[in-house]
C-alpha cells in the first residue's frame, strides 16, 4: 500500500491539428496526432489528515480553481468520501503554452489518487472524470501517442510512434486557447467518417504525415503572437528536421532523429537566449508509469 507517490505529468504535444468544424455550442471539432515528451511537471502526493496544496513555480495559483484541486474534488464527489492529501506540484511547463500542462497535472492527479488510495477505478472511469475537467485530460491519462477527434475528448490510443528527439521552445508569451480559436479564419470540411493515421513506420514517415496534416491554428496564433514565426525559423536554422507549433501555441517544436536534440537546443539558445527551451524525446505507451520523474537520457539535457 502506498503512503506517498511521485509522478511526472508529461508535456502533451499536438504534432498535427486539423480543425474540421464548429458545433452549435461553439466548440470546434478536430483531428490531431498527439504525442508526449519525457519532460513535464512533477506531482508529489502523500496521504494526510487534511488536504494541503503547494506549488513550486510561477504562473498558477494553489487554490480551488487549479485543475489539480478540481481533479481531487471531482474524484471525491464521484466516490462519495474525502481523500485528504498533501500535494506539492512543481511547475516546469510554461502556462497557456499549448502543451496541456494543466490537463496533464489533472490527469496525473486522477491517476495518482487512484493508486494512492487503492480506488481501482478503470481507465474508462477516469476518462469520464477527466472529460468533466477539460477536453485534453482524457488524452493525458495514458500519456502515450494517440489520435484525437471530436472536441478532443475522443482519443484512440496508438501502438507507438517512431523514436524521435524533440526540442520544445516558447517565447515566454502566454497565448490563451480561446483567443486563438476566436481568430481562426477557416477550417476543413468535416471528414465523412472517423479516420486514423496510417501506420507510421519510421522517422521520415512521421515527418511526412505531420507535414501533410499541419496545424490549422498556426496562422491565427501567429497573428496574435508574431514571435511564433521567429521561433519556428530559429528551429529550422538550428537544424531540426521538422518544425511546427503545438496545439494553440505559443510553444513550437523541432523533431530530429534520436540523440540530435541536445545539439539543436544548444544552437537554438544561441539564436534566442531569452526563450524557454527544453530538449527531450517522445515517449511511447507505458513509458509514463507512476514512479520517479524521468531521468535525463545521456546526451539530452535540460531546461531553461
Which one has a higher pLDDT value, 49 or 299? 49
- Does the pLDDT value for residue 299 go beyond 50? no
Which pLDDT belongs to residue 291? 43
- Does the pLDDT value for residue 295 go beyond 50? no
- Does the pLDDT value for residue 274 go beyond 50? yes
Q: Which residue among 12, 92, 165, 275 is the active-site one? A: 12
Q: Which residues pair with 148 in a beta bridge?
A: 32, 155
Which pLDDT belongs to residue 286? 61
Confidence of residue 293 (pLDDT cuts 50, 70, 90): very low
Which pLDDT belongs to residue 189? 57
Question: pLDDT tens, 113-151?
Answer: 999 999 999 999 999 999 999 988 999 998 889 998 887
DSSP codes, 29-89: EEEEEEEEEEEEEEEEEEE-SS-EEEEESSSS-SSTTSHHHHHHHHHHHHHTS---EEEEE
Among the ranges given (10-14, 156-160, 249-253, 261-265), the one the predictor scored with the smallest mean pLDDT: 156-160
Backbone angles phi, psi at 31, to 5 degrees: -130, 135
Which pLDDT belongs to residue 2? 84
Whether 136 is catalytic? yes
- Does the pLDDT value for residue 190 go beyond 50? yes
Closest listed residue to residue 93, CA positions, set 278, 285, 299: 278
- Does the pLDDT value for residue 243 go beyond 70? yes
Which one has a higher pLDDT value, 19 or 76? 76
Q: Looking at the domain that runs over 4-283, which CATH code has it been given?
A: 3.30.230.10
- Does the pLDDT value for residue 109 go beyond 70? yes
Confidence of residue 297 (pLDDT cuts 50, 70, 90): very low
CA dist 282 and 278 (Å) reads: 13
pTM of the predicted protein model: 0.89
Q: Which residue has the cell 487512484?
A: 114
- Does the pLDDT value for residue 298 go beyond 80? no
Which one has a higher pLDDT value, 188 or 152? 152
C-alpha cell of residue 260: 540530435
**What's the average model confidence in pLDDT over 77-95?**
96
Q: Which residue among 136, 165, 216, 275 is the active-site one? A: 136
Whether 132 is catalytic? no
Confidence of residue 192 (pLDDT cuts 50, 70, 90): low
Confidence of residue 287 (pLDDT cuts 50, 70, 90): low
Highest mean pLDDT among 72-76, 173-177, 213-217: 72-76
C-alpha cell of residue 229: 514565426
Confidence of residue 30 (pLDDT cuts 50, 70, 90): confident
Cα-Cα-Cα-Cα dihedral sign, residues 145, 91, 251, 253? negative
Amino acid at each position: 500500500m502506498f503512503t506517498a507517490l511521485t509522478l511526472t505529468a508529461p508535456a502533451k504535444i499536438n504534432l498535427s491539428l486539423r480543425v474540421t468544424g464548429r458545433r452549435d455550442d461553439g466548440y470546434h471539432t478536430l483531428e490531431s496526432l498527439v504525442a508526449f515528451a519525457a519532460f513535464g511537471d512533477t506531482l508529489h502526493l502523500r496521504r494526510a489528515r487534511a488536504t494541503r496544496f503547494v506549488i513550486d513555480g510561477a504562473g498558477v495559483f494553489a487554490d480551488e480553481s487549479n485543475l489539480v484541486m478540481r481533479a481531487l474534488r471531482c474524484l471525491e464527489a464521484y466516490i462519495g468520501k474525502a481523500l485528504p492529501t498533501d500535494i506539492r506540484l512543481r511547475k516546469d511547463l510554461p502556462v497557456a503554452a499549448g502543451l496541456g500542462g494543466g490537463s496533464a497535472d489533472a490527469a496525473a492527479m486522477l491517476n495518482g489518487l487512484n493508486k494512492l488510495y487503492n480506488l481501482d477505478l478503470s481507465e474508462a472511469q477516469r476518462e469520464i472524470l477527466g472529460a468533466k475537467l477539460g477536453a485534453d485530460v482524457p488524452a493525458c491519462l495514458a500519456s502515450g501517442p494517440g489520435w484525437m477527434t471530436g472536441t478532443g475528448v475522443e482519443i484512440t490510443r496508438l501502438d507507438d510512434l517512431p523514436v524521435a528527439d524533440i526540442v520544445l521552445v516558447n517565447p515566454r508569451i502566454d497565448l490563451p486557447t480561446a483567443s486563438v480559436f476566436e481568430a481562426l479564419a477557416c477550417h476543413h470540411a468535416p471528414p465523412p467518417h472517423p479516420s486514423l493515421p496510417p501506420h507510421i513506420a519510421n522517422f521520415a514517415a512521421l515527418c511526412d504525415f505531420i507535414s501533410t496534416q499541419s496545424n490549422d491554428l498556426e496562422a491565427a496564433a501567429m497573428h496574435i503572437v508574431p514571435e511564433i514565426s521567429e521561433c519556428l525559423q530559429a528551429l529550422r536554422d538550428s537544424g531540426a528536421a521538422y518544425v511546427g507549433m503545438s496545439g494553440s501555441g505559443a510553444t513550437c517544436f523541432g523533431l530530429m532523429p534520436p540523440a540530435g536534440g541536445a545539439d539543436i537546443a544548444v544552437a537554438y539558445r544561441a539564436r534566442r537566449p531569452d526563450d524557454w527551451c527544453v530538449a527531450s524525446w517522445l515517449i511511447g505507451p507505458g513509458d509514463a508509469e507512476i514512479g520517479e520523474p524521468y531521468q535525463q537520457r545521456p546526451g539530452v539535457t535540460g531546461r531553461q
